[in-house]
Amino acid sequence: MSAVFEVINLKKSFGGLAVTNDVSLTMAPGDRVALIGPNGAGKTTFVNLVTGNLQPDSGDVRLAGETVTKVGANGRVKRGLVRSFQVTRLFLEMTPAEHVALAILERQGRTGRMFGNYLAMPDVMDEVNDLLGTLGIAQLMHRRVNEIAYGQQRLLEIAVAMALRPKVLLLDEPAAGVPQSDTGRIEQALADLPADLAVLMIEHDMDLVFRFAKRVVVLAAGAIIFDGSPADVTKDARVREAYLGSYANASHAA
């Protein structure tokens, strides 16, 4: 299957320190990949590079075969590369319906219509209802974001991302800050993502990683030190030393 997302020999240094050091990564449609690594490994810089918020010193990023290295963040979103953030970036005074409708109209190139009555746009509202219903928050669509629980806000972020019809979805710790009682909803939302969508998830919760990922990539000191199956990652000596440590030992003992 042809690659939908390719990172080729990406490099970025700050003040002579290589934060992203010759990183290459390929994803096909339907891939479920977890990107893990210790704090300071370069995960955030890597995401900022591939989403167009930072320019690399060298290397390339490709989407569906098109080189987008010099394309800005908005251009990459329009081409199908969409990210969510570790901390929600929602508008607290807006409703879930407004958020999703705005994303749909942005995708369709008619955001000017938002100043009209989006509720009277059947095509938009059908999609709003479908997305919010799939994520189990349709009953909240007309509540302001500051009136709904944090876990529901994280679900809304996924709905907004999906409204942009991504080919590649980057999730930055989708369950961060969510109470343990609500993480099941997040996991179900991840399980319900379209089968042909390539998903790259940055995550520290290793239990979530092993439930979600079909493939694990480990970043340490700006370089990939492992790219393989979840079953093999805990056995890798470099990964155990750099990151997993006691978790790997506990898992092995179990």
Q: Where are the domains of the chain?
A: 5-253
pLDDT for res 196: 96
The whole-angstrom separation of Cα 118 and Cα 105 is 9
The DSSP bridge pattern shows strands 66-67 and 81-83 to be unpaired
- pTM of this structure: 0.89
pLDDT higher than threshold 50 for residue 253? no
pLDDT higher than threshold 90 for residue 204? no
Residues in Cβ contact with 174 at an 8 Å cutoff, skipping those fewer than 6 apart: 84, 154, 157, 158, 186, 190, 201, 203
Q: What is the pLDDT of residues 183-193, one digit of tens each?
A: 888 899 999 99
Average of per-residue pLDDT across 118-127: 90
Name the CATH superfamily, with its identifier, for domain 5-253.
P-loop containing nucleotide triphosphate hydrolases (3.40.50.300)
The whole-angstrom separation of Cα 21 and Cα 222 is 5
